[in-house]
Structure 1
Amino acid sequence: MSKLTFPLLSLFLYLLITSIPFLVISQNVDTELDILLKLKQQLGNPLSLQSWTSSSSPCSWTEISCADGKVTNLLLSNKDISVEIPATICDLTNLTILDLSFNYIPGGFPRAVFNCSKLQRLNLSQNYFVGPIPDDIDHWLSNLKYLDLGANNFSGDIPPAIGNLTELQYLYLNSNQFNGTFPKEIGNLANLVELGLAYNGFVPSTIPVEFGKLSKLTFMWIRYANLISPIPDSFANLSSLEHLDLAVNNLEGSIPDGLFLLKNLTNLYLFRNKLSWEIPQKVEALNLVEIDLAMNNLNGSIPEDFGKLQNLKLLSLFTNQLSGEIPPSIGLISTLKTLKVFTNNLSGVLPPELGLHSKLEHFEVSTNHFSGQLPENLCAGGVLLGVVAFSNNLTGEVPQSLGNCDTLLTVQLYNNKFTGEIPSGIWTAVNMTYLMLSDNSFSGELPSSLASNLSRLEISNNKFSGPIPTGISRWVNLIVFEASNNLFSGEIPVEVTSLPLLTALFLDGNQFSGQLPTKIISWKSLTTLNLSRNALSGQIPTVMGSLPSLSYLDLSQNHFSGKIPSELGQLKLLELNLSSNQLFGQIPDQFDNLAYENSFLNNSNLCAVNPVLNLPNCYIRPRSSKKLSSKFLAMILVLAIAIFIGAAILTLLAFRGYQRKKQKRDLATWKLTSFQKVDFTEANILASLTENNLIGSGGSGKVYRIVVNHAGEFVAVKRIWNSKAFDEKLEKEFVAEVQILGTIRHSNIVKLLCYISSEESKLLVYEYLENQSLDRWLHGKNKRSSSAANSIHHAFLDWPRRMQIAIGAAQGLCYMHHDCSPPIIHRDVKSSNILLDSKFEAKIADFGLAKMLAKQGQAHTMSAVAGSFGYIAPEYAYTTKVNEKIDVYSFGVVLLELVTGREANVGDQNTSLAEWAWRRNLEGKPIVDCLDEGIKESCYLDEMTTVFKLGLICTSTAPSTRPSMKDVLQILRRISPRNYGEKLGSEFDVTPLLGNPTYLSSYRRSNRVSDDEYDISLDYSV
């Protein structure tokens, strides 16, 4: 061997040896590349993974992280994955982090991940997983440090095996459908830092004492989880705890005093429970930022030590039984933004320095016993949104400083003892919406200009004087104007009639004189007009008979004269009072019934033809010379009538005998098929199908309301006729409704009791819902004969009730889309197909157009486009292949109806509501300007704005960018309090818009999920 050969051989061996690791690494990368490409194929080749190709290294892909050339992190969040997780995923043997959140993955808990032996972080949140968590999860995933299964459909019990995952630091099981228990063994997770069990329907459960052993826990979130009994005293041992949220449960008893000694505690949410407790006066948790103990049974006084909380932003103690004064030291806290202590038994003087040292935003102290004056500096920080101090014993004048507070949305000072004039700036505050000053001793005159956004002005029972200014024509957004029982005088100017949105006008009990305007410019929305107890004179203007919405009219105790215009009879008045005037002549025939028996008192010259009311007969009696002839004719008439009645009775008896025989034959042709237990027969139903019981009709037939038993219970009967022209179509509709409704059992879907069929027609018998359809209430179309339906539909449908309806309807549709197998598409979701029971719980109705999907995730071909204008999804125009997203679109329109008060087919310039809302948003118009003026209250603006945004997302042109009904339901639930009749103020759980990454230009969700740590930022330019 030459001298040169040996060095070359050595060099070759050296290169061979040193290259072995690289060859091994290359082999690993190639192997994992194959695995990932196979995984991509098994996931359905989603468009979001187009960058996964064999021409590049996996370690360079956005969704992949590597260590030493090996795949360790697989981040597949928001990738539109809709298939079950394949076992291939665990062929990545070094996988430690797996994130599959915000997808549409179905099926049970993915046992495929059990083979990922090194897995430390698993995020399966925001998917469609169902069923229980496996009891043996601890045997397979023992290395887990982070587990997030939130926002799925997991159910059953949370297994005790969770407590054996001793490495766990973060555990989120919130927002599922767990309907069993959660285990005390969670208390064994000594390393646990954050725990989320909120928004689950557990059986009534006590909080395990063992949870007090979680010494490292900083975050506990068990809101809305059916908790009962007291909070364990062991919670005083949670020395690391920063965030405690046990709100909206049924906790009773006292709160451990030790909670206020936890020095790391920053957020304490225990609102809406049944806690009976006196807040301890000693507070050492000096880092507290938010305290919300509202809607409990707390007693005692507000601790003086609260004044030491120099980081405090929110103090919410409303609806309790607290007494005593608000400690003056609270007014010195420089960080305080929100003070809500309304509906308690508090008294004394309000801290005079409130607002002086901090930028106060919310000040709500109503329904207490406070005395003295309002603090002078409430708006010193320049960001105050509202002063809500009604129903107290406050005195003095309104601080002049409030007149310089342009940020004010509402001032509610009614039912106090205020005096003096209102600062001029309050009348004109640019953002003012509600100004409610009734039941005080305010004086002065009305200004000629008001805030342009003012929708409600209530100043009754004060000492305001002077005329109504002609500048009232500029109050164009005013909806309610109540000025009863003041000292106003002069004539009522015609400019009052130019307010286009006005629904209620109360000017009774003043000193107005002169005649009413004979010209009405814009009172198309007016439902209530009360001008009683004034000195008005002249004739009642004929033009009043042309007011299309008027339901209440009170002109009593004035000096009106002349005849009652016959045009008033054209109005559908629920109440009319023209008493104590100087009217004469015949009353309109429409008013001559007992519904108006007190409407014409103390008008001695009024009469009626053939009167029903206690009024003289307007008929001129015959002269006495014809009395004999009249008596003779009367006798002949009586005799003729007797003969006629006798013949009629005989004929009727014969006819009834024939009818009984025919009815027995006819009943034999009818067949009743029952889906529920019913206490009536087909004969009961058939005998009541009369015009007197008709309550509606449509393209498929007529609907009747029928009494079915002696208790006066009703059912609704939909009759579908079989005709030659529509026989096949109606038969399909009938079969569809029966097929679907007969098998559905859900509280938010109308209940089909039975159906009755014959060759001629078919009858669907439903439960009867007292409040009929949503559109009748929402758009002023309610035709109930009971009290004041047309004029007070907004009062009934306030915002909490609208949210209740939205959530109920969403629950029904969510059940159809996600819990029925196969899923159901309704195809005609609209406000007239959302029915309301006596408690205004919503139920989805009219399944005549519904179809079942043949297979999960696949579109279904429809033979024809169906639906209603304004609600029809745009893809209907160019394809007959549809999926659940068409219902989402229609429901989005319903959300826009609820929040704007507009009808679905009316935007402007021949556009639909959805088109109008999108254009307004794209033009950058403030959302608050789109909201229904009748319910636009400052404390609900955040909720209403979010629902408006959600309506826009649901009505997106592209079906793929609309959320699922499951996502929509979760959002609605989290921005609404549990008890819809009550309100938690302005604090909401706002969930990001699930499943719509296209529209999220900014989305932050930290693990510390407090009320204000959810952020929605929508980009509608997509």
Structure 2
Amino acid sequence: MEKLQELTLSGNALERSIPNSLYQLVHMGNLYLDNNALSGPISTSINNLTNLQKLYLNSNSFSSALPPALCELKDLIWLYLEDNSFTVLLPLDVGNLVAVDKMDISVNQLSGELPVSLSELQSLEYLNLSKNSVNGNIHGNIDVMVNIKIIDLSYNNLCGGIPKSLENLQQPQVLDLSFNRLERAIASGGNFTNLSIDSFVGNYALCGAPKFHVPVCSDGVKKHNIVNMIKVDIFLASGGFVLLLIVWILIFVEKYRKSGLERHCHEVERFRGIVLPVITYRMFSQATINFSDANFMGTGSFGSVRKPIDESFNGDFTLRQWVAEVFPLPISDVINGHLLKQNSSETVSDHAAEGHLLKQNNSGTVLNELLVMIMETGLSCSRKAPTERMGMKAVVARLKTIRRKASPLKE
């Protein structure tokens, strides 16, 4: 057994770890232990097999890190370790395997960055590190691997750009960088002209030639579009929030109005005798300046909606400016006066009635305060310059305060 040069035990049901006695077979040239159920780490004693040329340990359950002692096998030509559970990164001295021709460590749990010494494998023709968790950048010095034909780094976490120096690879037949996190431009010269979309699919931040099915690279246009998209997002966000605030105010006022009517149905009596003004077609035509498009607000299912313009709003003088000028005094000129009017004609005959009237007066005061806060918030959020508007956190805090103070009004 000491002079044994080849051992083939592939496709059996071998379990546990490799026995230490096997590492003493110093004349071993080829070792085939693939497709078993072997487990545990590879012993550091593997460096005793100085004559080893072919090592097949693939399709087992080996785990832990690859021992640096493996890189001392300078006569090793074929190294197949795929379909195991090896962890951590490749040994930093992997470049010492100067004779290796084929290396497959795919379908493991390797992590960390690609060793710089990988480029020292000048005899390497086949490299497969796919389906691991290798991260970091692809080193640009891989192009010095003059004999490399197949490089498969797919299904990892590689990031950054694809080195342009890879165009200089002498005879690559396969370069698979798919399903990583690579970005920026795909090189278009050298042997990259023979590559297809399959080499780069799954990297969603790449750009390049249309044949790769990625966006065309244009840094200036890309930056300009990103800036425009940010501006649009900010505009839509601020505009949408102001609209949401207005809707919230309307809902609040409507809820208060309805709750007030439910509690004080008898108050309807005091509105009897009120005559609503009759607006004729001619009056409405004059108010909208003969239905001018300048006053056009939108269309509905049954016609168009226009904004009647009071003669007070001439030129660039807007409704918001008018509200800002008269606010906060008197608020009754800004909102519907019925919201603030209390029933002054109620008969007060006893202490209970006096308490009820006092509660009504207090409710009116609180309502007036809340409306002032709402109007202040609306005015702040509708300022023309975004930098002058109230911040989102401040607005949320203000709305919570309004809701808290409004709760007693529902009782």
Q: TM-score, normalised by structure 1?
A: 0.21
1:462 aligns with 2:60: yes
Is the Cα–Cα contact under 8 Å of residues 486 and 510 in structure 1 kept in the other structure? yes
For 2:175 and 2:4, locate their aligned partners in 1 and report how far apart those are by CA, in whole Å: 38
Which digits, 9 at most, give the CA deviation of each residue in 1:307-342, with x for residues without a partner? xxxxxxxxxxxxxxxxxxxxxxxxxxxxxxxxxxxx
Shift of 1:613: 2.1
| Aligned CA distance change for structure 1 residues 620 and 473 (closer, same or farther; 3 Å) | closer
In structure 2, relative to structure 1, the CA distance for the partners of 1:433 and 1:622 (3 Å cut) is closer
Equivalence for 1:444: 40
Task: Write the deviation string for residues 7-53 of structure 1: whole angstroms up to 9, x where unpaired.
Answer: xxxxxxxxxxxxxxxxxxxxxxxxxxxxxxxxxxxxxxxxxxxxxxx
**One-letter code of the match for 2:9?**
L
Q: CA deviation at 1:568?
A: 1.3
- Give 1 or 2 for the bigger CA radius of gyration: 2
Decide whether the 8 Å contact of 2:184 with 2:205 is kept in 1: yes
Alignment of 1:34-433 (within 5 A): 405-433=1-29
Question: Structure 2: which 5+ runs fail to align?
Answer: 223-411
Give the counterpart letter for 1:567 in structure 2.
S
Q: What is the match of residue 114 of structure 2?
A: 516
Using the TM superposition, give the Cα deviation of residue 620 of structure 1 relative to its aligned residue in structure 2, in angstroms. Answer: 5.3
Structure 2 residue 80 is matched with structure 1 residue 485:
no
How far the C-alpha of 1:594 sits from its partner, in A, is 5.5
Match in the other structure for 1:771? none
* Change beyond 3 A, Cα 1:542–1:450: farther
Q: Measure, in 2, the Cα distance between the counterparts of 1:519 and 1:438.
A: 27
Cα distance change on mapping 1:431 and 1:617 into 2, 3 Å: same
SS in 2 for 1:588: coil
Distance 1:596 1:485, change over 3 A: same
Q: Distance in 1 between matches of 2:183 and 2:119?
A: 28
CA deviation map 1:263-283 (0-9, x unaligned)? xxxxxxxxxxxxxxxxxxxxx
Offset of residue 595 of structure 1: 3.5
Shift of 1:596: 2.8
Aligned-CA RMSD value: 1.9
1:601 matched to 2:205? no
Are 1:491 and 1:515, in contact at CA under 8 Å, matched by a contact in 2?
yes
State the Cα deviation string for residues 221-270 of structure 1 (Å, max 9, x = none): xxxxxxxxxxxxxxxxxxxxxxxxxxxxxxxxxxxxxxxxxxxxxxxxxx
Of the structure 1 ranges 612-621 and 446-455, higher mean CA displacement relative to structure 2 is found in: 612-621
- Contact between 1:498 and 1:521, CA under 8 Å: does it hold in 2? no
Residue type matched to 1:437 in 2? L
* SS class of match (1:481): strand
Q: 1:539 to 1:521 in 2, by over 3 A?
A: closer
Distance 1:410 1:605, change over 3 A: same
SS at match of 1:464: strand
Equivalent position amino acid for 2:184 in 1? G
Shift of 1:614: 1.4
Shift of residue 518, structure 1, vs aligned partner: 2.0
What is the Cα deviation at residue 622 of structure 1?
Answer: 7.1
Distance 1:479 1:564 in 2: 28
Q: Note if 1:583 corresponds to 2:179.
A: no
Contact 2:119 2:145 in 1 (8 A): no
Q: For 2:19, give the aligned amino acid.
A: P
CA distance 1:575–1:504, change in 2 (3 Å): same
Higher normalized contact order (CA 8 Å, seq sep 6+, divided by chain length): 2
What is the match of residue 96 of structure 2?
A: 498
1:673-725, CA deviations, whole angstroms, 9 ceiling, x for partnerless residues? xxxxxxxxxxxxxxxxxxxxxxxxxxxxxxxxxxxxxxxxxxxxxxxxxxxxx
Counterparts of 1:535 and 1:521, CA distance in 2? 20
Cα separation, 1, equivalents of 2:93 and 2:212: 37
Once the 2 structures are TM-superposed, how far is the Cα of residue 612 of structure 1 from its aligned partner?
Answer: 2.3
Secondary structure at the aligned position of 1:536 is classed as strand
1:548 aligns with 2:135: no
| TM-score computed with the length of structure 2 as normaliser | 0.51
CA displacement 1:604-638 (0-9 Å, x = unmatched): 01111x43221211135879xxxxxxxxxxxxxxx
Quote the Cα distance in structure 2 between the aligned partners of 1:579 and 1:585: 14
Q: 1:529 aligns with which of 127, 133, 147?
A: 127
Amino acid at match of 1:588: A
Alpha-carbon offset, residue 599 of structure 1: 0.6
1:6-25 equivalences in 2 (<5 Å):
none
Shift of 1:450: 3.9
TM-fit CA distance, 1:470: 1.3
Aligned partner of residue 159 in structure 2, secondary structure = strand
SS in structure 2 at match of 1:573: coil
User: Conserved in 1, the CA contact under 8 Å of 2:85 and 2:108?
Assistant: yes
SS at match of 2:142: helix
Q: Is the 8 A contact 1:487 1:510 kept in 2?
A: yes
Counterpart-to-counterpart distance in 2, 1:577 and 1:502: 20
Counterpart of 2:51 in 1: which secondary structure?
coil
Return closer, same or farther for 1:565/1:461 CA change in 2, 3 Å cut-off: same
Partner of 1:730: none
Structure 1 residue 559: Cα displacement: 0.5
Indicate the structure with greater helix content: 2
> What percent identity do the matched residue pairs reach?
29
Rounded to whole Å, the distance in 1 between the matches of 2:139 and 2:29 is 32
Q: Which residue number corresponds to residue 334 of structure 2?
A: none
Is contact 1:447–1:469 with CA below 8 Å preserved after alignment? yes
User: 1: distance between equivalents of 2:119 and 2:172?
Assistant: 21
The answer to whether the 8 Å contact 1:575/1:596 transfers is no
Deviation at 1:413, TM superposition (A): 1.0
Taking structure 1 as reference, are residues 554 and 521 closer, same or farther at Cα in structure 2, changes over 3 Å only?
A: closer
* Aligned residue among 27, 30, 47 for 1:434: 30
**Residue in structure 2 matched with residue 1011 of structure 1 by the alignment:** none
Is the Cα–Cα contact under 8 Å of residues 594 and 613 in structure 1 kept in the other structure? Answer: no
User: Is the contact between residue 181 and residue 203 of structure 2 (CA under 8 Å) also seen in structure 1?
Assistant: yes
1:518 maps to amino acid:
V
Which residue in the other structure is 1:337 paired with?
none
Give the ranges of 4+ consecutive aligned residues of structure 1 lying more than 6 Å apart after TM superposition.
none
Superposed displacement of residue 493, structure 1: 1.3
Matches of 1:521 and 1:592, distance apart in 2: 19
**Corresponding residue for residue 394 of structure 2:** none
Could you tell me whether the CA contact under 8 Å between 1:454 and 1:475 is conserved in 2? yes
Aligned residue-pair number? 218
What displacement does 1:467 show? 0.8
CA distance in 2, matches of 1:481, 1:501: 11
1:515-534 Cα deviation digits (max 9, x unpaired): 11123474110011111111
* C-alpha distance 559-620 of structure 1, shift in aligned 2 (>3 A): closer
* Amino acid in the other structure paired with 2:37: S
Contact kept, 8 Å, 1:546 with 1:567, in 2: the verdict is no
Q: Residue 71 of structure 2 aligns to a residue in which SS?
A: helix
Question: Contact conserved, 1:498 with 1:520, CA < 8 A, in 2?
Answer: no
- Measured in 2, the distance between the counterparts of 1:621 and 1:522 equals 38
Segments of 5+ residues of structure 1 without an aligned counterpart are 1-404, 624-1022
Instruction: Give the C-alpha shift of residue 589 in structure 1.
Output: 1.3
Do 1:439 and 1:462's aligned partners in 2 also have CA atoms closer than 8 Å? Answer: yes
Question: Residues 568-967 of structure 1: matches in 2 within 5 Å?
Answer: 568-571=166-169, 572-590=171-189, 592-593=192-193, 595-608=195-208, 610-619=209-218
Q: Deviations over 1:102-144 (max 9, x none)?
A: xxxxxxxxxxxxxxxxxxxxxxxxxxxxxxxxxxxxxxxxxxx
SS at match of 2:143: helix
Do the aligned partners of residues 592 and 503 (structure 1) sit closer, same or farther apart at CA in structure 2, a change above 3 Å counting? closer
- The 1:429–1:622 alpha-carbon spacing in structure 2 relative to 1, beyond 3 Å, is closer
